[in-house]
Structure 1
């Protein structure tokens, strides 16, 4: 099954469906990522903060999949923001992953109270110029954080990875990114199980012989989001991967669009430090 690629402003592409390892037990990461790779995922999203970069790297090394067929993302954590500290943190992440380069390196949170995300971004620009990150981007940035980078730095972020699901659709952030060539990537794309009682979505799923989760992932795909669901169970990984043999109608997309409540499940990027 072929996963569509989305073009990034860096000149590279990103698989639209990936596999996230947030809160994956470091001791289980190699097994879980190996399962995901065997299912067919070629886009793996980790972070220093998850403490499982070594397990991701071990799974990649054991897979025998050519490096150029994989897309690997990791992230700069809040406490490592700054100039040299960001460069040092990137070197450590590469070493833990056992890789010569990553495909995408993100600032994990803007942490505006620290006042360091612009300085950090300039370090990411150096990493990008060196070729050790094929693209650079941000995570959890609101439009005003992105505007600051656009005003004060040179490289436009390739990706903004944000909380995005039917209950919290972040239309302003997505549209701002789209208007500046920044791809939106959705974390917590299934709303952490909060959508299980949505009868309208379940009816759509029943009509296609799919699960509610598959319908929501399909909604993301058709809206142009990059999406990184996670699961520790191989059968659920396979289910989440099986979303390219049906297409939602505009009316069905509208039913899901109407679920937006504007409430976060995660933290407010303006207050995380």
Structure 2
């Protein structure tokens, strides 16, 4: 374990709150949410571990903004965990395993954020000299822990999981194993980060929004453009003057407001991560 005990494929925890929890089928559905959210987080771990392994590889063409985009978000799992505990979907030992994983993910993410901050201040090559060994150590260890958690979850349910979950698990486990062993399974032939195709597709895809907005940043009010939305955040365009980590509020013309944090910036595009994921019935993302 690490020093501190410290793309989404399924509906978020808000969905879990609205599932009528009855014995049997409802519990199975809640557990499937846990499996799917774990797979989604595991993919991010595999990609970031791949990026860490590639930091000293002259053939890679990594960019800090791309690395930031793939950083796993622990918010859905953290929100889902107490729901599972309250409804006795998982037992205390398994809850402890999930919580320990989330703490280790938070610890590794702190190091990743320090690296990304230095990328902005120094450049990626110089930041890599300072952080590569630490990132490789922490994210390889996290990849091993993530794979172990996935296997523990697969062995837990009394009812069999859908076959797509097992197919996903085999692919994600292979990615995690490769990254944990210092390989670069999520790097394409051009040296860029990517996620290999997975059998289980996102149930909550990004939806096109295509409307103007107002963006309230730390120091300025700006006009911007919302390209798309998902349960986890907004894709913004025609925006300047923001940096990763900025707290923002996005106002739509209809009056809705969304609060969150800038997760990545590339040119005049940016990704905003919501403070709390949207439910699947939210008009912004409902199919």
Normalising by structure 1, we get a TM-score of 0.28
Larger radius of gyration: 2
Q: Normalization by structure 2: what TM-score?
A: 0.27
Asked which structure has the greater RCO (Cα within 8 Å, sep 6+), the reply is 2
